[in-house]
Amino acid sequence: MKTVAVLGATGSIGASALDVIARHPDRFRAGALAAHRNVDALAALCARFKPDLAVIADASREADLRARLRVAGIATRVASGAQALIEAATLASCDTVIAAIVGAAGLESTLAAASAGKRLLLANKEAVVMAGPLLRAALDAGGGELLPIDSEHNAVFQCLPPARSGLDAAGVRRILLTASGGPFRGHKREALHDVTPARACAHPNWSMGRKISVDSATLMNKGLEVIEAHFLFDAPPERIEVVVHPQSIVHSMVEYADGSVLAQLGNPDMRTALAHALAWPERVAAGVAPLDLLKIARLDFEAPDRETFACLDLAYGALEQGGSAPIVLNAANEEAVAAFLDQGLAFVAIPQVIESTLEKVQGAPARTLPEVVDVDLTARRVAQRIIASAKV
Ligand code: NAD
Ligand code: MG
């Protein structure tokens, strides 16, 4: 029996994770649930899953959540604030933590779960982009293990040999990350000036939270995933290639020295990756429909349009530059995407904000969590100034 803490329980990944958990009451139990501020949704999940602990990050909502659970007769303990997120990530009763908070807000709890030696199911890619080396050190010190939930990295994990001895020792030539191309695949920059948040969030294949949906539309999601793959699989940037695959059936591939290319295929449904990582090394049902290859009939592959979707090369550039550039990239992107969703920034200005922020904020590698947080906050302030002076 595995007891699971779901951080970001009210989100898209949280829902998929809890769906898989609910399918296997003999194997999995939700021991802790954490969310930002949606008390209705968190209270409903507590009624259904009866966790030991419920955390609402926004402390101003704690009393409301507590009252709701009391009225409903639910015995779940309630806590709030940043420290409570860490408590949920390190709870003694939980052996597995699903890090599914969106953005830098998930960094500390992700690191805490790694330090505590949990099985860390990682969806919160921004945490790896910001603090890859710190996360690796925390995993080594804690003695836990990381299983990637991001579908591409989960696919790569499945296509690599079980013993992690480095790419060369395993005979790996390249990692091929697939990208759907997002809702604007095939569009040129001129056609993207009047993109609305609703259009940017209408992903052709995946149903996801709003921030990652915008990232998919700009290709920054793939850029963040290149950096994520670099840290998770110890792969240099030149050995990570992005291939656009509009059907989102091949979730990624590993190319070997002998010319073999191993791929993981499946319907675009995050429950496959979650079920894989929850049960690993075993396999359990995920509730995902079987893949109907005859119905899909064809799988297409094309090169990404790096000119229109400039975020991809900004991410490669930040990775090659190293130091704190990935932190700056991520912070500027989070600010630009939030401004776009608020209708305070044009879609096409997102890469411009990130590029200008990268030019203005340069720093040595951030070696500790406070240093990472410091670079993140500095970059956000700079990005906000650039956004304020940009023409919407
Ligand atoms: P979402 O917006 O649907 O959910 C985000 C969750 O994080 C919510 O439960 C929210 O309450 C919580 N949250 C937000 N801010 C918080 C804060 N300050 N403190 C505590 N909790 C906070 O997002 P999502 O689509 O589920 O994505 C979550 C993460 O998983 C992201 O990092 C994303 O890149 C990654 N991911 C998502 C998918 C997907 O299919 N949705 C696929 C791969 C990776
Ligand atoms: Mg992905």
Closest ligand to C-alpha of residue 127 is 1
Sequence letter at residue 230: H
According to DSSP, residue 365 is labeled P
State which of 38, 130, 208, 380 you would mutate to test the pocket of ligand 1, scoring each by most atoms of that ligand within 8 A of its C-beta: 208
**Whose C-alpha lies nearest to ligand 1, atom 42?**
150
Q: Are 51 and 35 in contact (CB under 8 A)?
A: no
Q: Report the pLDDT averaged over residues 371-376.
A: 97
State which of 6, 7, 13, 232 you would mutate to test the pocket of ligand 1, scoring each by most atoms of that ligand within 8 A of its C-beta: 13
Question: Percent of the chain, pLDDT > 90?
Answer: 96
Burial class of residue 324, CB neighbours in 10 A (0-12, 13-18, 19+): buried
Residue 102 is predicted with a pLDDT of 98
Sign of the alpha-carbon dihedral angle for 261, 264, 265, 269: negative
Cβ of 271 closer than 6 Å to ligand 1, yes or no, is no
Give the list of residues 6+ apart from residue 386 with CB closer than 8 angstroms, or none.
332, 353, 356, 357, 360
Indicate the SS3 state at residue 16: helix
Q: Report the pLDDT averaged over residues 156-177.
A: 93
Q: Are 179 and 252 in contact (CB under 8 A)?
A: no
Which ligand 1 atom is the nearest neighbour of the CA of 208?
A: 41
Which ligand 1 atom is the nearest neighbour of the CA of 103?
A: 32
Give the pLDDT confidence of 264-313 residue by residue, as tens digits.
999 999 999 999 999 999 999 999 999 999 999 999 999 999 999 999 99
Closest ligand to C-alpha of residue 338 is 1
**Whose C-alpha lies nearest to ligand 1, atom 39?**
208
Closest ligand to C-alpha of residue 36 is 1
Which ligand 1 atom is the nearest neighbour of the CA of 212?
A: 34
Rg over alpha carbons for the chain, rounded to the nearest Å, is 20
Q: Report the pLDDT averaged over residues 215-244.
A: 98
Cβ of 212 closer than 6 Å to ligand 1, yes or no, is yes
Indicate the SS3 state at residue 161: coil
Instruction: Reply yes or no on whether the pLDDT at 391 is more than 90.
Output: no
Q: Share the mean pLDDT of the chain.
A: 97
**Whose C-alpha lies nearest to ligand 1, atom 40?**
208
Cβ of 100 closer than 6 Å to ligand 1, yes or no, is yes
Indicate the SS3 state at residue 227: helix
Higher pLDDT, 165 or 260: 260
Sequence letter at residue 260: S
The pTM assigned to this predicted structure is 0.98
Cβ of 12 closer than 6 Å to ligand 1, yes or no, is yes
| Dist. CA 125–CA 32, nearest whole Å | 21
Give the pLDDT confidence of 76-128 residue by residue, as tens digits.
999 999 999 999 999 999 999 999 999 999 999 999 999 999 999 999 999 99
Residue 235 is predicted with a pLDDT of 97
Q: How far is the CA of 155 from the centre of ligand 2 (A)?
A: 10
Closest ligand to C-alpha of residue 333 is 1
pLDDT class of 392 with cuts at 50, 70, 90? low
Q: Where are the alpha helices (DSSP H) in 38-120?
A: 39-49, 62-72, 82-90, 107-115
Give the pLDDT confidence of 46-63 residue by residue, as tens digits.
999 999 999 999 999 999
Cβ of 175 closer than 6 Å to ligand 1, yes or no, is no
State which of 33, 212, 226, 267 you would mutate to test the pocket of ligand 1, scoring each by most atoms of that ligand within 8 A of its C-beta: 212
